[in-house]
Structure 1
Amino acid sequence: MASGRSFKDIVLHPNTLTLFRVVTIPGIVILLLPQEPGKLFCFIAAVLFSLAAISDGLDGYYARSLGLVSNFGKFMDPLADKLLVMSTLTMLTWHQWIPGWIACVIVGRELAVTGLRGIAAEQGKVIAAEKLGKYKMGFQIGAIIPLLLHHKYYFTESFFLDFGQVGYWVLWIALVFTIWSGAEYFRNYSKVIRS
């Protein structure tokens, strides 16, 4: 290439990985548009979401280790995460695979924290992400993937795994961490602004 950058450098660039996450969103939404999406569509949607989640971990790693931190990345990385989770939760709610109020709590927390970050940034303050936020994201991903798979998968005639039920119970854990980390974020915001 004329720029001297290899295909691998471009594909593994943090901003490319962030944009990949955004591009997967319409794919997941389209796959879940049918009134009763079959196993194949659900499986592909879960794979897309999983790849997007993996790219979230990779873009931060490459940005830090290769010194490729940028203003675009700082803005788009958390936005891409929130768009991915919120759009997927919207589709899960539309199919009534999860209660709407849980999706509202999760989405509301994400929007509130994003707003507080913006206010703090305008005042020249930075509120660091807490470990609770990472656990929250981990459990959200851990819930959404089996929720997307949704169907029962039979291994023998009598032994099966109901992915929808697995995801539903993990979602309750994600909800606890969502509320907990949100409250912790508000507390840290108050301390930073007062200081």
Structure 2
Amino acid sequence: MNLANKITVARICLIPLFILSFSQYPQWLADESPFFSFMNQYGINIAIVVFIVASGTDKLDGYIARKYNQITNLGKLLDPLADKLLISVALIMMVQSGMIPSWMAVIIIGREFIITSLRMIASEQGIALAADHFGKIKMVMQVVAIAAILLDNYPFDLLTSIKIDYFLMLIAVGLTVFSGFNYIIRNFKTLRLGSMK
């Protein structure tokens, strides 16, 4: 396994740490254990750091893969999987904590299921559907919006009382929908021609 793939696997391994850090533990457990008491008090801060570090490795593994010619089929499979898992887990945890409404998570996660299904159909026809520019912008916006929500609107709250983090999430949802429709429309003709062969 090359370095780029190892970084991708490390990103996947950070997801359970994010879950453990984000979770709130029962008070009786916190009273019995200094560790769980610490996690209840500072776990969200650890989760924010883990999320930002994990998100940053997405650019790092891609850069290394291209620079050192380490692009592999395993990497092509694991990299988007790691991204989807990280974003999906973060959204689900945020919904459970009441940080965002459930419809936002449903739209973003639903879009990923639809596009992944489309890619699987294309793969069965021997067609490789590459990610497009809007998909990459969407991913960056999702990471920025989730980080802003996790930071509870910091540092924007130092300048204004407006919930900038919520508006960023709305933009991320909008871009998710737009990029999904654009991807489907752009590849519909390719899929149709492939099915006619």
Q: Tell me, yes or no, whether TM beats 0.5.
A: yes
Once the two structures are superposed, the pairs formed by residues 111-150 of structure 1 within 5 Å of their partners are: 111-150=113-152
In structure 2, the CA distance between the partners of 1:179 and 1:152, relative to structure 1 (3 Å rule), is: closer
Worse overlay, 161-170 or 46-55: 161-170
2:153–2:163 contact (8 Å) kept in structure 1: no
TM-score by length of 2: 0.83
- 1:24 deviates by 1.0
Q: 2: CA distance between counterparts of 1:128 and 1:108?
A: 19
Alignment partner of 1:177 is 2:167:
no
Q: 2: CA distance between counterparts of 1:66 and 1:164?
A: 44
- 1:193 deviates by 1.2
- 1:41 deviates by 2.0
In structure 2, the CA distance between the partners of 1:166 and 1:24, relative to structure 1 (3 Å rule), is: farther
In structure 2, the CA distance between the partners of 1:164 and 1:81, relative to structure 1 (3 Å rule), is: farther
Q: Which amino acid aligns with 1:146?
A: A
Q: 2: CA distance between counterparts of 1:164 and 1:28?
A: 28
Q: Which amino acid aligns with 1:44?
A: I
The aligned length equals 181
- 1:160 deviates by 3.4
Q: 2: CA distance between counterparts of 1:71 and 1:163?
A: 47
Q: 1: CA distance between counterparts of 2:76 and 2:154?
A: 39
Match of 2:73 in 1: 71
Alignment partner of 1:41 is 2:39:
no
2:192 to 187, 190, 194: 194
- 1:164 deviates by 10
- 1:162 deviates by 8.4
Q: Which amino acid aligns with 1:141?
A: V
Match of 1:27 in 2: 17
Gaps of 5+ in 1: 1-8
TM-score by length of 1: 0.84
2:53 to 51, 54, 59: 51
In structure 2, the CA distance between the partners of 1:160 and 1:30, relative to structure 1 (3 Å rule), is: same
**Matched-pair identity in %:** 37
In structure 2, the CA distance between the partners of 1:145 and 1:19, relative to structure 1 (3 Å rule), is: same
Note the alpha carbon deviations across 1:91-133, whole angstroms, 9 max, x for none.
Answer: 0000010010110000000111011111101111122211111
Gaps of 5+ in 2: 27-38
The residue matched to 1:175 in structure 2 has which SS?
A: helix
Worse overlay, 139-148 or 32-41: 32-41
Match of 1:97 in 2: 99
Higher normalized helix content (fraction of residues)? 2
1:146–1:163 contact (8 Å) kept in structure 2: no
1:32–1:45 contact (8 Å) kept in structure 2: yes
In structure 2, the CA distance between the partners of 1:153 and 1:127, relative to structure 1 (3 Å rule), is: closer
Match of 2:33 in 1: none
Match of 2:32 in 1: none
- 1:188 deviates by 2.0
Match of 1:88 in 2: 90
- 1:62 deviates by 0.9
